[in-house]
């Protein structure tokens, strides 16, 4: 097997991993701040892909879809938090998980009603088709674009969390919401926004993934499980963990596709089982 | 906290409520009572198929509830044990010519072994991680079922193991007759009911409830929490696998979907709808879910949107489920 093929597959793995990173990050942020496992995350990823497709077909431009759909679905996420998740704070940690599971059922069926059961192709925007020569081989431009977008979003997120006053409030709120309340911070508003951003990230992942596969109502369930595996490997609530584990899983999946295609997604679970045996709280999870 | 001293000579006897007496009587006769209700079921419900499904999914939800309701562990991977029971039974009959009772036994034991492996791994994690890990490991089993198509039939499912008659102690019963089929499967359900009731009444049953209420305190009391959790996981897996073998015998077909996480989700929904941590709850939940599926699917192919919404409302407003809420009302 020649080196160039391996390199291209590795690159493809990084692009796949980038989408996993952005999706798992949304899951991890919501859990880290609110202590809620969002089971509807995969469904919202799928809604994001459909939303992007819909906006793109209305405006005739992929760029509007990429920009508007995640914001719209992020706002929808805020409604979910306000209407459904908020009444469950203070109850068992399982309750929000169960509720969002029911929500994923509803979202998948709602999309089926509106867009039908069959997959819809998501055309790659004309500016991003074709391949680019990077000196070491030819790489699909769209995948390069995905990696760049994810890198920029990660950077913005990092700056927002580490360098702004709002980021400080969010991080402090994750540590001790009661003290934040005592200090006069309206933590409910912070949680509302965090949930919205987390859901928006899932939707962004969906729009970005759209041109790399067909868009169908079932596409969220695999993504949800992949995002779970990534957060378990990386450590739930750890942002760095999501990034490292997302890339790791993306590369592992695409390398297995090259060397042992019949193993398919199984390798990802094997990786998770291995990490669990050695570090039950994940690579970057805090030890109890 | 008030420190009121009570003279030792006069023991404090709580006033007995008449209704709690009734509940106590029902509880002590709960296995026979459930069997009596199950006996009547095929004659009350609109179809025999629905009655058989209530049996199968009732056993499934009850097995699951041992872990979720009584031990307090939210597993999202119980489809793996249900599916393993079904597949092993089907493969044993269809490809190895094992008699039906041997195949049922193999299916149950196989599901138990799988539960031991998955439980052993996932119990190392705590709280919310547990749900995610069980889901992921069950999804691994799904992919194995999909890939090992020479054994499982892959996406087409497993066929070709019809059990036409059940031979036992020299008596041959026609298993294709829906009434016979119901009552034979009911014997399995009765065994499962008796077994779960026995487990819950044992000291082990008290131990798992102690872990659910306060894990740290249970550990401080000297319970081996990990071993108890694992045992509960395996017992729960055994019963779910039994439900799987019942389903395989009933349908003479194992669809790949039994392993899918939607099945795990359905088990969770049934249990919560009926009421976790109550003996009758899971059966009530399975019954309610199947009835909703029957009724709503007549109106629309998108019945899941209605069931999902109802489930959301239950999580928000009736977390104790149908039976749990009813019990709370009666006891008060």
First to last CA, chain B: 24
Distance in Å, alpha carbon of B56 to nearest chain A alpha carbon: 23
What's the confidence (pLDDT) of residue A287? 54
Looking at the predicted structure, is the pLDDT value of residue A33 above 70?
yes
Q: Do A102 and B308 touch (CB under 8 A)?
A: yes
Distance in Å, alpha carbon of B260 to nearest chain A alpha carbon: 10
Q: Quick check: A229 contacting B, CB < 8 Å?
A: yes
Rounded Cα gap, residues A149 and B126, in angstroms: 35
Distance in Å, alpha carbon of B70 to nearest chain A alpha carbon: 14
Q: What is the pLDDT of residues A134-178, one digit of tens each?
A: 777 788 899 999 999 999 999 999 999 889 998 898 888 888 888
- The confidence band for A266, taking pLDDT boundaries of 50, 70 and 90, is confident
Q: Do B127 and A93 touch (CB under 8 A)?
A: yes
The 8-class DSSP code of residue B5 comes to -
Whether A32 is covered by a domain: the verdict is yes
Interface of B with A in 280-309 (CB under 8 A): 302, 304-305, 307-309
Q: What is the pLDDT of residues B20-69, one digit of tens each?
A: 677 778 778 888 989 999 999 999 888 888 999 999 999 999 999 999 99
Q: What is the pLDDT of residues B76-92, one digit of tens each?
A: 999 999 999 999 999 99
Computed over every residue of chain B, the mean pLDDT equals 89
In B57-210, which ranges are E strands?
165-168, 171-174
When mean pLDDT is compared across B29-43, B71-85, B185-199, B233-247, the lowest value belongs to: B29-43
Contacts of A233 in chain B (CB under 8 A): none
Q: Do B128 and A37 touch (CB under 8 A)?
A: yes
What's the confidence (pLDDT) of residue B1? 43
HSE-CB at A138 with a 13 A cutoff on CA atoms is: 3
Measure CB to CB from residue A229 to each of B127, B136, B143 and give the nearest one. B136
What values do phi and psi take at B255, rounded to 5?
-75, 150
Contacts of A281 in chain B (CB under 8 A): 125, 129
**Does residue A233 contact residue A24 with C-beta atoms inside 8 Å?**
no
Residue A97: alpha-carbon gap to chain centroid: 17
What's the confidence (pLDDT) of residue A238? 83
Q: What tokens were used for A33?
A: 């701040």
Give the residue from B212, B53, B314 showing the smallest Cα distance to A103.
Answer: B314
Computed over every residue of chain A, the mean pLDDT equals 90
Whether A72 is covered by a domain: the verdict is yes
- Which 3 state secondary structure label does DSSP give B254? strand
Residue B136: alpha-carbon gap to chain centroid: 20
Q: What tokens were used for A197?
A: 């951003």
HSE-CB at A76 with a 13 A cutoff on CA atoms is: 21
What's the confidence (pLDDT) of residue B13? 52
Q: Quick check: A86 contacting B, CB < 8 Å?
A: no
Rounded Cα gap, residues A107 and A119, in angstroms: 16
Whether A240 is covered by a domain: the verdict is no
Q: What is the pLDDT of residues A54-69, one digit of tens each?
A: 999 999 999 999 999 9
**Does residue B148 contact residue B278 with C-beta atoms inside 8 Å?**
no
What's the confidence (pLDDT) of residue B15? 52
pTM for the whole thing?
0.90
What's the confidence (pLDDT) of residue A73? 97
Number of domains in chain A: 1
Task: Please write down the long-range contacts of A159-165, taking CB distance under 8 Å and 24 or more positions apart.
Answer: A161/A239
Region B206-229: what's the mean pLDDT?
93
Region B87-108: what's the mean pLDDT?
95
Other beta carbons within 10 angstroms of residue A228's beta carbon come to 26
Q: Do A269 and B143 touch (CB under 8 A)?
A: yes
Q: What tokens were used for A6?
A: 């391996």
What values do phi and psi take at A120, rounded to 5?
-120, 130
What's the confidence (pLDDT) of residue A286? 67
Domain membership of residue A165 as a residue range: 3-217
Whether A17 is covered by a domain: the verdict is yes
What's the confidence (pLDDT) of residue B288? 95
Whether A275 is covered by a domain: the verdict is no
Q: Do A109 and B308 touch (CB under 8 A)?
A: yes
The ipTM estimated for the assembled molecules is 0.91
Q: What tokens were used for B69?
A: 């309701």
Rounded Cα gap, residues A48 and A209, in angstroms: 10
What's the confidence (pLDDT) of residue A109? 95
Name B33's Cβ contacts closer than 8 Å, sequence gap at least 6.
B26
What values do phi and psi take at B219, rounded to 5?
-65, -40
Distance in Å, alpha carbon of B314 to nearest chain A alpha carbon: 9
Residue spans of the domains in chain B: they are 47-260
Angle A277-A281-A284 from CA coordinates, rounded to 5° = 115
H-type alpha helices, B148-260: 149-152, 178-201, 203-213, 215-220, 225-251
Measure CB to CB from residue A102 to each of B122, B147, B311 and give the nearest one. B311
Region B190-212: what's the mean pLDDT?
94
What's the confidence (pLDDT) of residue A65? 94
Question: Checking phi first, is residue A135 left (phi over 0); if not, alpha (psi -120 to 50) or beta?
Answer: left
Angle A155-A159-A165 from CA coordinates, rounded to 5° = 160
Give the residue from B271, B243, B237 showing the smallest Cα distance to B258.
Answer: B243
Region B304-313: what's the mean pLDDT?
94
Q: Do A269 and B139 touch (CB under 8 A)?
A: yes
Cβ burial, residue A107 (10 Å; 0-12/13-18/19+): buried
Task: Give A263 or A115, the one with higher predicted confidence.
Answer: A115
Q: Give chain B's length.
A: 332
**Does residue B257 contact residue B25 with C-beta atoms inside 8 Å?**
no
Task: Give B12 or B297, the one with higher predicted confidence.
Answer: B297
What's the confidence (pLDDT) of residue B18? 54
Q: How many angstroms separate the Cα of B112 from the Cα of each of A154, A203, B80, B186, B320?
A: 44, 39, 11, 21, 29
**Does residue A217 contact residue A98 with C-beta atoms inside 8 Å?**
no
Name B19's Cβ contacts closer than 8 Å, sequence gap at least 6.
B330, B331
**Does residue A210 contact residue A49 with C-beta atoms inside 8 Å?**
yes
Region B93-104: what's the mean pLDDT?
93
**Does residue A220 contact residue A100 with C-beta atoms inside 8 Å?**
no
**Does residue B256 contact residue B269 with C-beta atoms inside 8 Å?**
no
What's the confidence (pLDDT) of residue B8? 47
Measure CB to CB from residue B124 to each of A93, A109, A276 and give the nearest one. A276
Measure CB to CB from residue B136 to each of A91, A236, A272 and give the nearest one. A272
Angle B97-B101-B102 from CA coordinates, rounded to 5° = 55
What percent of chain A has pLDDT above 70? Answer: 98
């Amino acid at each position: 097997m020649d080196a160039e093929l391996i390199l291209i597959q590795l690159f493809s793995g990084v692009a796949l991993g980038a989408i996993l990173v952005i999706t798992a990050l949304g899951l991890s942020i919501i859990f880290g701040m609110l202590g809620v496992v969002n089971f509807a995350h995969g469904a919202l990823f799928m809604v994001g892909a459909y939303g992007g497709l819909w906006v793109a077909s209305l405006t005739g431009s992929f760029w509007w879809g990429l920009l508007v759909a995640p914001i719209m679905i992020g706002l929808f996420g805020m409604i979910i938090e306000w209407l459904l998740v908020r009444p469950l704070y203070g109850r068992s940690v399982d309750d929000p998980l169960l509720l969002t599971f029911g929500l994923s059922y509803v979202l998948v069926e709602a999309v089926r009603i509106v867009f039908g059961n069959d997959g819809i192709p998501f055309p790659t925007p004309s500016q991003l088709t074709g391949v680019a020569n990077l000196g070491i081989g030819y790489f699909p431009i769209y995948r390069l674009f995905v990696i760049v977008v994810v890198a920029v979003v990660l950077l913005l997120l990092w700056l927002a969390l580490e360098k702004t006053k709002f980021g400080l409030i969010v991080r402090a709120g994750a540590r001790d919401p009661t003290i934040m309340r005592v200090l006069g911070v309206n933590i409910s508003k912070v949680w509302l926004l965090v949930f919205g951003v987390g859901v928006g990230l899932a939707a962004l992942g969906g729009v970005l993934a759209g041109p790399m596969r067909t868009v169908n109502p079932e596409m969220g369930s695999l993504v949800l499980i992949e995002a779970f595996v990534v957060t378990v490997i990386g450590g739930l609530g750890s942002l760095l963990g999501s990034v490292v584990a997302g890339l790791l899983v993306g590369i592992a999946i695409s390398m297995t596709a090259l060397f042992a295609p019949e193993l398919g997604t199984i390798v990802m679970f094997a990786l998770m089982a291995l990490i669990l045996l050695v570090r039950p709280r994940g690579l970057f999870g805090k030890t109890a | 906290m008030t420190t009121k001293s009570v003279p030792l000579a006069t023991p404090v006897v709580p006033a007995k409520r008449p209704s709690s007496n009734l509940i106590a009587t029902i509880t002590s006769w709960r296995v026979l009572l459930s069997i009596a209700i199950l006996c009547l079921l095929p004659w009350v419900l609109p179809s025999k198929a629905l009655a058989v499904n209530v049996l199968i999914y009732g056993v499934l939800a009850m097995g699951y509830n041992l872990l979720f309701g009584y031990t307090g562990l939210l597993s999202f991977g119980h489809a793996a044990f249900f599916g393993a029971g079904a597949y092993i039974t089907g493969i044993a009959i269809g490809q190895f010519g094992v008699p039906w009772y041997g195949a049922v036994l193999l299916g149950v034991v196989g599901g138990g072994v799988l539960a031991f492996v998955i439980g052993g791994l996932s119990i190392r994690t705590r709280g919310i991680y547990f749900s995610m890990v069980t889901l992921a490991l069950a999804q691994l089993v799904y992919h194995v079922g999909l890939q090992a198509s020479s054994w499982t039939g892959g996406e087409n499912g497993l066929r070709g193991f019809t059990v036409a008659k059940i031979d036992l102690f020299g008596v041959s019963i026609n298993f294709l007759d829906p009434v016979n089929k119901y009552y034979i499967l009911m014997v399995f359900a009765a065994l499962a009911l008796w077994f779960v009731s026995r487990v819950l009444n044992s000291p082990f049953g008290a131990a798992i409830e102690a872990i659910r209420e306060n894990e740290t305190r249970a550990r401080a009391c000297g319970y081996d929490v990990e071993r108890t959790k694992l045992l509960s996981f395996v017992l729960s897996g055994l019963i779910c696998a039994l439900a799987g073998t019942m389903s395989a015998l009933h349908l003479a077909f194992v669809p790949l979907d039994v392993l899918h996480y939607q099945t795990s989700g359905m088990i969770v929904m049934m249990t919560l709808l009926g009421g976790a941590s109550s003996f009758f709850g899971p059966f009530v939940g399975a019954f309610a879910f199947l009835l909703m599926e029957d009724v709503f699917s007549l109106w629309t192919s998108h019945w899941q949107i209605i069931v999902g919404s109802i489930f959301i409302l239950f999580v928000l407003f009736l977390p104790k489920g149908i039976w749990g809420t009813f019990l709370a009302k009666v006891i008060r």
